[in-house]
Amino acid sequence: MTNVHENILGLIGNTPMVRLNRVTSNIPANVFAKLESSNPGHSTKDRIALHIIEAAEKKGLLKSGSTIIETTSGNTGFSIAMVSIIKGYKCVLSVSDKTKPEKIAYLKALGATVYVCPANVAADDPRSYYEVAKRLATEIPNSIYINQYFNELNIDAHYQTTGPEIWEQTDGKITHLFACTGTGGTLSGSSKFLKEKNPDIKIIGVDADGSVLKTFHETGKLDKSEIHSYQIEGLGKNLIPGALLFDRIDEFVRVNDETSAYRTREIALKEAIMGGYTTGAVVQALLQYAQNHSLTDKDVIVLIFPDHGSRYISKVYSDDWMAQQGFSNNCVHNYEEVFKTEFIK
């Protein structure tokens, strides 16, 4: 039989790439989105979940009845829970209270035990989802803690798969790569491979307003005064992840909640791509970058779209939620006028 897999894990990777035509129409470059939502778990995190778990199996760290523990904003948890089902492991996840109820329901539907922890506490606070996961790993016998933020296999998964796929899909013509940075594994692994192929490729990290990564990249210092709450999930950090290779990144662009939210919805309406909140963030970062850099029709820009918008229906795709955030003023007015004119006849 042709193109038939033994189980769902065979569908991980080899995700498609599509040209963006309308949301980036004012940029002269060729812009393409790599749709990681095409993975069976609907995000790029499928790659690291499978890679890290299979590496643990090879080392003998996972045995029958083992428990896999991890921190997650949702996507990594979905992927680990999915892999755990196929391979026969238990799954325990700690999430922040920024995580929407439907994401938690999704995790539970995949058999995971979920601990909800406060988001607005320091990373070393015993209540943080980092520290809760560490504690659970000491309390639950026959368990391993994935620790994606400081696991080099997070980087290696993308070095082995995402980077080579991008190189092949662009016939080696890529000039810029943009990706959101949470753990940093996607951008670090992809950039490590691509820089080996062509050191002139520009690697652009996307950071959130309220995160410390951009300033740390520029100064080498963690400025805690920059830390404040924000709504974009899976983007930015209040600590410095060990899986983020700052020396492989040329520049960071910082984006905010409001513009990223409207950009996410614009992508759906103009390109028919239902992406997650970080999809809007990475496009917004490109538009901001283009204001300060000269781009031409010779440039080939790849944006990694990390996940699917179905996980954000009650958040960024909800008019009520947008209004609750106070996302109004000129941004809302212009958005409504554009789409009433173009799409509602």
Per-residue pLDDT of 192-228, as tens digits, reads 999 999 999 999 999 999 999 999 999 999 898 999 9
Q: Tell me the pLDDT tens digit for each residue of 231-251.
A: 898 899 888 888 899 999 999
* CB 282 within 8 Å of CB 305: yes
5 three-class SS: coil
Of the residues 45, 98, 202, 214, which is catalytic?
45
Fold of 45-150: Rossmann fold (3.40.50)
Based on DSSP, count helices (H) and strands (E) in the chain, helices before strands: 12, 10
Percent share of the chain, pLDDT over 70: 95
- Is 45 one of the catalytic residues? yes
Predicted local confidence at residue 328, as pLDDT: 64
Predicted local confidence at residue 332, as pLDDT: 43
CA angle 51/93/307 to nearest 5° reads 60
- Specify the CATH number of the domain 8-38+159-325: 3.40.50.1100
For CATH 3.40.50.1100, the residue range(s) in the chain are 8-38+159-325, 45-150
pTM of the model: 0.90
**Torsions phi, psi for 252 (to 5 deg):** -110, 145
